Amino acid sequence: MAKRKIVWSSKAKFDLLKILEYFYIRNGSKTYSVKLNSKIRRAVRLLSNHPFLGLQSDVENVRVLVEGDYVIFYQVDKETISITTIWDCRQNPDNLTTPK
């Protein structure tokens, strides 16, 4: 099976940035943010070879990969994995907008 290219949506990039920024401000150090960024990106890289690693969501063609307290929403196409959003599960679920 060929590797699929990982493509990050602007929303997913923004979500990850906000999560990392939150911990940087809260902790007064970027150490935890760097570790968390590595952990999330490592999980996303696994999708390149194993695109169906995550669970099917309620939304057609949208899968979810759980990494710690975070859910990575993504879509699988023939040649790409599109990361649509990253959600911190400790937030109010009413604030989650469904990726399309």
Q: Judge whether 86 and 66 are in contact, CB under 8 Å.
A: no
In this prediction, residue 41 carries a pLDDT of 97
Q: What is the pLDDT of residues 3-45, one digit of tens each?
A: 999 999 999 999 999 999 999 999 999 999 999 999 999 999 9
Regarding the domain delimited by 5-90, which CATH topology (the fold level of the hierarchy) does it fall under? YaeB-like fold (3.30.2310)
Reported pTM: 0.88
**DSSP 8-state class, residue 27:** H
Domain definitions of the chain by residue range:
5-90
Q: What is the pLDDT of residues 47-87, one digit of tens each?
A: 999 999 999 999 999 999 999 999 999 999 999 999 999 99
Q: Judge whether 18 and 87 are in contact, CB under 8 Å.
A: no
